[in-house]
Structure 1
Amino acid sequence: MSALVQAHDLAKVFDVSPPWLNRVIERKPRALLHAVDGVSFSIEKGKTLALVGESGCGKSTVARLLVGLYAPTRGGLTFDGQDAQAAFKASEGRAGSEGAALRRRIQMIFQDPYASLNPRWVVEDIIAEPLLEHGLIHDREGRRTRVGELLQSVGLSPLDMAKYPHQFSGGQRQRISIARALATQPDFLVCDEPTSALDVSVQAQVLNIMKTLQRERGLTYLFISHNLAVVRHVSDEVGVMYLGRLVELADKQSLFAEPRHPYTRMLLDAIPKMHDTGRARTPVQGEVPNPLNPPTGCSFNPRCPHANARCRAERPLMQKIGGVTVACHAVEEGRI
């Protein structure tokens, strides 16, 4: 099956320097933050790729690059054989263009259902906004019918369209966010930690709705999370990120059964397991380095028990080793 989404060497650099005069007075150079640094992956149609990693590793920046909220500093994105970045750029301020059609097919579900819904709008207006923006349904009665159908598809009632966001629980608000994302009948949904702000039982309900919608509509997901239990439930393939780079990319079964990269092993070892009660777990060692001043060579080397001189000097490249794509000198050399 061909890939619907392909990212090639995606990178995003933010200039976080103090103002010019401050830099001159204090004699400081410009400060550049490499939030995403050469990430490549592909997602097949109807499948889910999950990106995991600690806070600040660049997961959400990847999400914003994929939906066109950020322009990449380097690299590109292909969607259904089309150069997505060029289409996004061409569509700025132009309705009905090729890029606008692409934006209809790519939608995003944000992390915080409390912040991503306008508190002054009723649910009908919130969900109908993409329909109006893209000129999909013009008459009011048609919009009301479509909003009612979307609410039912996420387990809510059409009667809810007259309510305001504050009248719903967190899980119900996230369902409204999902309904809004589905309004344009997209092919690809970028889900930026959509359940992290919810209770565990509510998380399960929302995830099950998303799985059902994927099955019924053939949706493709990029699912961003730091919760490995959630990732195990929803994903087909998992990418592990560390300090703006992918360090391991494998199918779900391989990654959870036999993680290769030391960082992946560290993340999985930190999960409490029912049958390991009483066994001392290896804690996640060390702190994430300052992204403004990352270590030379492999960015994980200060925390890695297998690091040697090569790891401290040479940046490992992603390569296929034993059916898994991994960036690690120790794995490449057979030391682990």
Structure 2
Amino acid sequence: MTAPLVQAHDLAKTFDVSVPWLNRVIERRPRQLLKAVDGVTFDIEKGQTLALVGESGCGKSTVARLLVGLYEPSRGSLMFDGKDAHAGYRSGESQQLRRRIQMIFQDPYASLNPRWTVEDIVGEPLVEHKIISSASELKDKVGELLKSVGLSPLDMVKFPHQFSGGQRQRISIARALATEPEFLVCDEPTSALDVSVQAQVLNIMKDLQRQRGLTYLFISHNLAVVRHVSDRVGVMYLGRLVEVAGKQQLFGAPQHPYTRMLLDAIPKMHDTGRARTPVQGEVPNPLNPPAGCAFNPRCPHANERCRNERPALLELRGVRVACHAVEENRI
């Protein structure tokens, strides 16, 4: 058995969101720390897709930025292909590691430089990593990359404003593929697009995965999209993973009450007469999370243990789930 390509263990990121030092002294206010990610553990097999889902603000994008080295973790480790990735990002291996790990950002309108042509945008990683030396070679390679995402090599002279949102995201995918990476971190790559365009972009990503053997971490809050692209799904709530399971298992027999709540809120084609169950309550303030299980104020199965003791992510009923009620067979 080979080790998974990506292994995150107890990964955490805390941000200091305090008011300035002088205000704290004058107003006698303590420092405020925000635990954006609080002890996340998962692994991704080579060629597989792990999707992370959850409501806005649950820490999904922070996990993405930790994986590509944009943030340094407050604690925990990230292993990529058996080596410590964050030690690699800080060392002389950084360039080589960044070739192998690339990211597709959420907003195709903000992630492309409006003053650069498509040739400059897609060609930048090729020049930066010294993959291409001559200008003619660069044009040929950029043309190939554009063709691989369903665009024309003739588009390389255009600017981003001349494209639709879906086409811009294809340019972002072409740029990410330029260094021939093994692992792509996709931070809600279709959330800014129309539904019909979403399907086109997702199909391109699935085709590229098959052709190139790519490994994906796919972040989304759209469960229909997750069902289409993932092999395994991790459900996040307030910076922690509450359930990790195979796609069929998670959608067919969800264990955690929060996962059930998310799935109940999806409109279903065949249940047109049945009232939809809205997601109950509000996400607690992440600066002052509840004691015990973070989900307990919204959970119909919460008891005294849930309000005082934080559940660990355990292997139960064939899935990894952090829930006292599941552990005690109260659901």
TM-score category, normalised to shorter length: over 0.9
Gaps of 5+ in 2: none
Give the alignment's Cα RMSD to 1 decimal. Answer: 0.6
Q: Which residue is equivalent to 1:63?
A: 64
Question: Quick one: which of 220, 224, 243 aligns to 1:225?
Answer: 220
Whether 1:87 aligns to 2:82 is no
Whether 1:127 aligns to 2:128 is no
**What CA distance in whole angstroms lies between the structure 2 residues aligned with 1:197 and 1:323?**
35
Whether 1:284 aligns to 2:279 is yes
Whether 1:32 aligns to 2:33 is yes
Question: Quick one: which of 183, 207, 212 aligns to 2:207?
Answer: 212
Task: Give the alignment's TM-score, normalised by structure 1.
Answer: 0.98
Matches within 5 A, 1:125-204: 125-204=120-199
Contact 2:52 2:235 in 1 (8 A): yes
Per-residue CA deviation, residues 161-190 of structure 1 (Å, 9 max, x unaligned), is 000000000000000000000000000000
**What CA distance in whole angstroms lies between the structure 2 residues aligned with 1:282 and 1:146?**
50
**What CA distance in whole angstroms lies between the structure 1 residues aligned with 2:277 and 2:199?**
28
Q: Which residue is equivalent to 1:93?
A: none
**Shift in Å, 1:2:** 3.0
Regions of 4+ moved over 6 Å: none
Per-residue CA deviation, residues 198-238 of structure 1 (Å, 9 max, x unaligned), is 00000000000000000000000000000000000000000
Per-residue CA deviation, residues 308-328 of structure 1 (Å, 9 max, x unaligned), is 000000000000001100000
Per-residue CA deviation, residues 146-172 of structure 1 (Å, 9 max, x unaligned), is 000000000000000000000000000
Q: Which residue is equivalent to 1:113?
A: 108
Q: Which residue is equivalent to 1:22?
A: 23
Aligned AA for 2:180?
Q
Gaps of 5+ in 1: 91-96
Q: Identity of aligned pairs, percent?
A: 80
Contact 2:315 2:321 in 1 (8 A): yes
Question: Quick one: which of 87, 99, 102 aligns to 2:97?
Answer: 102
**Shift in Å, 1:50:** 0.1
Whether 1:245 aligns to 2:246 is no
Aligned AA for 2:38?
D
Secondary structure of 2:110's counterpart equals: coil
**Shift in Å, 1:80:** 0.3
Question: Quick one: which of 256, 262, 267 aligns to 1:261?
Answer: 256
Task: Give the alignment's TM-score, normalised by structure 2.
Answer: 0.99
**Shift in Å, 1:25:** 1.4
Q: How many residues align?
A: 330
Q: Which residue is equivalent to 1:309?
A: 304
**What CA distance in whole angstroms lies between the structure 2 residues aligned with 1:229 and 1:83?**
34
Contact 2:64 2:187 in 1 (8 A): yes
Aligned AA for 2:46?
K
